[in-house]
Amino acid sequence: MSKIFLIGMMGSGKTTLAKMISKILSIPYIDTDEEIEKSHHMEIKEIFEKKGEIYFRKLENQILESLLKRREDLVVSTGGGIILNPKNRELLKNQKTIYLKVDPIELKNRVSVENRPLLLNNKEKILEIYNQRKELYEIFETVDITSLNEWEATAKILYTLNIYEKLEIDSSFQKVRIQMGALKLVPKEWIIFTNEKVNSLYGNFFSNKKFIFPNGERVKDISYVSKAYEQLLENNVSRKDFLCGIGGGTITDFTGFVASTYKRGMNFTFYPTTLLAQIDASIGGKNGIDFKKYKNVVGTINLPNEVIIDPLSLLSLDEEIYREGLIEGYKMALIAGRDFYSFFKENLNELLNRNLEKLSNFIKWAVEEKIRIVQEDFRDIGSRSFLNLGHTLGHAFEASTGIAHGLSVGWGLLKELELFKKYNLTDEKCYQEIKNTLEYLVSENIRNIEINKEELFYYLINDKKAENSKKIKIPILKSPGNVTLEEIEYSVLKNSL
């Protein structure tokens, strides 16, 4: 890598984004304005008032020159006017410099006049400044981040860095590979199924023949399966062609189902783009769709030709969706124990900051653990049920409250753990440690939600796994790495709520 310079108008988010990128890439972050303020013990506004703009621009140039002499990789957030000085433009042209373009009307809404001497307490002034500087900015590589949230903007920036690092997955059972930037390398001849959201973020990377479906669980419906068959037939798609699902678990499940049934099974691959899809839904060969009110009740068990995981795509996930994947991954770390469990504990902060190196390693651990479990019980008649840890109460909570699946599993893990501790199945130290981690992952609002115990119990006994009316088989966590499947009376579960 090299030094990354973010340039752009005031209010475009350079500082926030540079800080995020610094954590994502584990490289130091520098803000040229902050450096100037520190060296002069004055705010920018005061320097402008006391010393004038020419003096300030000189300082900016000195800082830039000194940063370029530094040997290490850096991400630098620059002052909005840094490109006014031709010397600075020359220096920046030889660096990885990215202009963060934001529509001026959005800029005006975002910017605050505080410590912005050039605005003279008048937000309208920003439109004038924008027009004066526009051409100077646009000589640099431009990333338009208008109407994107911070995570979506970081994803867009990071994809310009051309990072293509790989990490091998150790498995002869299912072909999976982790490759940064893989979304930019999808073979052109593959036919793509994706959804609106993923297409809006990454569709420009794949100009293939593609079919775009609605976002979320809605796509896992027989009516969309029927539409998909029609589209494949109309386009003369044969069994030998490759159908490629690019999206979250809903798209990979849907694509896997369509591909496994169309013409009695065609080639298919996945590019999962949520954390949950990368470590869970795309692994193990289950391709379910929903029918009436039943989730995943129709489906196939059939492995894709390959799963290609691009960790960069996770940067654009909404916080909640990202955490859902982390919680499912934590569950796998609890089942695996040992090194995976320790890794998760030690790197939780970096994982929350989406540090790419840690995230890639986390994905590798989780995928290998899921493959290990699936391999022992591909048809799901025995030990694959370990994966239901936290899901018995989690599913009931999800059905009763409508809270997202992964977060409900987090709640379920906490509640099940309390129960295991009450019956001395899990020791106190282990309980405390896991509880602390889960409290970090599952927000207080969700943990303290008022539940309707009767309703929750109703969903519990109506869960598709409830085959015996008095007892239920659930995975019990004795300690990380030590999970057993045991039968528990419903009444015991009810009392734990």
Interaction of residue 198 with ligand NAD, rule CB under 6 A = yes
Nearest residue to 329 via CA among 301, 296, 357, 364? 364
Shortest gap between Cβ of 219 and ligand NAD (angstroms)? 8
3-state secondary structure of 326: helix
Sequence length of the chain is 497
Pairing of strands 166-168, 176-179: antiparallel
- Within a 13 Å sphere around the CA of 371, how many CA atoms are in the beta-carbon half? 19
> 325, 281 in Cβ contact below 8 A?
no
Shortest gap between Cβ of 378 and ligand NAD (angstroms)? 12
Residue of the chain from 217, 357, 377, 418 that contacts ligand NAD (CB under 6 A): 217
d(CA 324, CA 391): 13
Positions 259 through 298 that interact with ligand NAD (CB under 6 A): 273-274, 276-277, 280-281, 284, 286, 288, 296
353's tokens? 């900051």
d(CA 344, CA 366): 10
Q: Which is nearer to ligand NAD, 150 or 217 (CB)?
A: 217
Query: If you search the block for the tokens 């954590």, which residue do you land on?
Result: 23
Helices then strands, counting H and E runs in the chain, come out as 22, 16
Nearest residue to 410 via CA among 398, 421, 426? 398
Q: 319-336 and 338-346 are packed helices; what angle lies between their axes, rounded to 10 degrees?
A: 150
Shortest gap between Cβ of 289 and ligand NAD (angstroms)? 9
3-state secondary structure of 425: coil
Interaction of residue 321 with ligand NAD, rule CB under 6 A = yes
Q: Please give the full DSSP string across 236-275, using - where no structure is assigned.
A: T--TTSEEEEEESHHHHHHHHHHHHHGGG--EEEEEE-SH
Shortest gap between Cβ of 79 and ligand NAD (angstroms)? 31
Interaction of residue 398 with ligand NAD, rule CB under 6 A = no
* Sequence-ordered strand ranges (E) for 69-149: 75-77, 96-101, 141-144
Residue of the chain from 216, 294, 342, 487 that contacts ligand NAD (CB under 6 A): 216
Q: Which is nearer to ligand NAD, 115 or 215 (CB)?
A: 215
> 76, 36 in Cβ contact below 8 A?
no
Residue of the chain from 255, 316, 361, 400 that contacts ligand NAD (CB under 6 A): 316
Point out which span in 134-142, 210-218, 451-459, 477-485 binds ligand NAD (CB under 6 A). Answer: 210-218
Point out which span in 45-53, 216-224, 227-235, 452-460 binds ligand NAD (CB under 6 A). Answer: 216-224
Single-letter amino acid code for the residue at 406 = G
Interaction of residue 199 with ligand NAD, rule CB under 6 A = no
Residue of the chain from 78, 174, 199, 250 that contacts ligand NAD (CB under 6 A): 250
Shortest gap between Cβ of 216 and ligand NAD (angstroms)? 4
Furthest-apart CA atoms within the chain: distance in Å = 81
Interaction of residue 384 with ligand NAD, rule CB under 6 A = no
Shortest gap between Cβ of 208 and ligand NAD (angstroms)? 18
d(CA 202, CA 460): 39
Interaction of residue 220 with ligand NAD, rule CB under 6 A = yes
Shortest gap between Cβ of 198 and ligand NAD (angstroms)? 5
Shortest gap between Cβ of 433 and ligand NAD (angstroms)? 26
Q: Which is nearer to ligand NAD, 195 or 361 (CB)?
A: 195
Interaction of residue 30 with ligand NAD, rule CB under 6 A = no
d(CA 119, CA 134): 17
Interaction of residue 360 with ligand NAD, rule CB under 6 A = no
Interaction of residue 215 with ligand NAD, rule CB under 6 A = yes
Residues that bind ligand NAD (CB under 6 A): 195, 197-198, 201, 215-217, 220, 247-251, 253, 273-274, 276-277, 280-281, 284, 286, 288, 296, 313, 316-317, 321, 324
